[in-house]
Structure 1
Amino acid sequence: MKFSTRFLSIIALALSTALPASAAETVEIKPQWMAGKRYYETMQTDQVSSFEVAGKKMEQSTSMTIELTMTVSPHQDGQPKRMTIRYERMAMGVEINGQKMGFDSANPGASGDPLNLSKTMGATVGQELKVVFNDKDEIADIENYDEFVSHFGAAATPGFDPKKMFNKEALTEMMKQGALRATPGKPVAVGDTWDFSNQIDLPALGKVVVKGNYTLKSIGDHNGVRCAEIEMDGQLSMDIGEAKGDAASPFSELGMKVSNGTLKGPMWFDPQLGMARDSQLVQEVTISMKNPADPTAMMEMPMKQNISMKLTKVEDVK
């Protein structure tokens, strides 16, 4: 018995050294929207910043929660695949030097609302944004853009034109990017990287550019689902006030500039489902602008924002 056990061990060792190593496991990172599915997603952002005005230090924190559903319908009568995005809940909290204010559409009377968030954010709750896909499963158009933006803040801010802040092209581009801004275009293994570069032109703000790379860190279990863990390492830049005339940025008069922008963190992509189930990104920038107390001087505002996106449920719909 001892001889046979030793003999089998020798055979196993010989085979392990003689046979070629197996190929590294690969995975395809290909986003897709499945017809007949409804996706439930929660987005959470927590932002902190500090600055000094007239010798007084100001600490500000802002948190925002958006809960939405995305229902995908199949091709019908030659029409492309469509998705209806419905905003189910909007909540925002602001704290400035210990003074708290906010709004939650799930409990609208819970706190004071001096910022009229119930009329800006609250007007969005229950609204639907209807988009159309192209044959590459990319968002190609927004069907009800005019109707949707008419609810966005107009009730609380007379004279404010949401179309100048988020025109149709800018809104479409932001929705295209989603959690994953680029794909590798081929199956990838742990350690592989691929680049991304995206630009969004906001009429009343300027040009926002995010570029960098993704790295596949691991393939394995994440909350009970086989996922590809992808690490994002990006740089963010913003050119404020490029637009002229009626579309000129209101921030350009403040001499506002954005520098030292980064966007980093992991996301967990489900290859079978074709979308990210979880992402935890950290965005950091430094904003400089004219000091309201002394227009000849500049002030800097370091800002950090944690951005979380979670897919909470996927269900079949008829």
Structure 2
Amino acid sequence: MKLLRHGPRGQEKPGVLDARGNVRDLSAVVGDIAGDVLRPQGLARLRALDLNALPLVAGVPQQELRLGPCVGRVGKFICIGLNYADHAAESGMEVPAEPVVFGKWTSAICGPDDDIEIPHDSVKTDWEVELGVVIGQGGRDIAEADALAHVAGYCVINDVSEREYQLERGGTWDKGKGCDTFGPIGPWLVTADEVPDPQALRLWLEVDGRRYQDGSTSTMVFGVAHLVSYLSRFMSLQPGDVIATGTPPGVGLGQKPPVYLRAGQTIRLGIAGLGGQTQHTVAAPVRIPQRLAAHSE
């Protein structure tokens, strides 16, 4: 199945893609693509549905019909850094002995084709196409041999990153990873039964028509099963948690000289079998601090 969320930002409804590429509404069946719906029992219930009997949603998805992030109410947005050896090399860093783990704020999550806002003082906003893993059956201390059974499905993620915030401002990487709109997820959640081998997926990214990233999940340092097991040693994984598994080489930081995003550009990215995303970059609005705004009333 290809599960999705459609409609205006903040008002998304649950849906599913039928065999003809049309969106069918699931609102009468489930409240959202989130939480217990992603457990094995919830997905089994959805698989048993006659999709042709569900209401047809007007509009071509990702054209007239906006798609939101394919998972709702995400509890944790966990990211893995330097998980492709050649990306570590282009970043001037060593291949890690254990997974590099950091967080992306859930307020960064947006739809797969929503605009990416370049922060007003940004000088090094970058791109990263990544395989997203969505947890279905939660757990702690999950054995690696059982780990893939805990995955509800897979999706495309653009781990947008501001490198100056991330690497030059001190502290952890998180501050360069979690700006608003820095987490496009989707277009759909492809359930795990339709992805025979998550370590055999081609992924790519272009900026203004130039191909920068063209890699395969087969070259990950730590595969999906290892990551799920590893993370479950340090935290409870819960239904709807999202794991971004790292990016192949070709990011802006690794170009010679480096290339970074600016307002007015178009990013296209995708993963074989999981769909694609298209984003336009815009200047983030300059917001008046709330305290000053209150004084001005």
Q: Which one has a larger percent helix, Structure 1 or Structure 2? A: 2
Q: Which has the larger radius of gyration?
A: 1
Q: Does TM, normalized by the shorter one, top 0.5? A: no
- TM range, smaller chain: under 0.3
TM-score normalised by structure 2 residue count? 0.24
TM-score normalised by structure 1 residue count? 0.23
Identify the structure with bigger relative contact order (alpha carbons < 8 Å, sequence gap 6+).
2
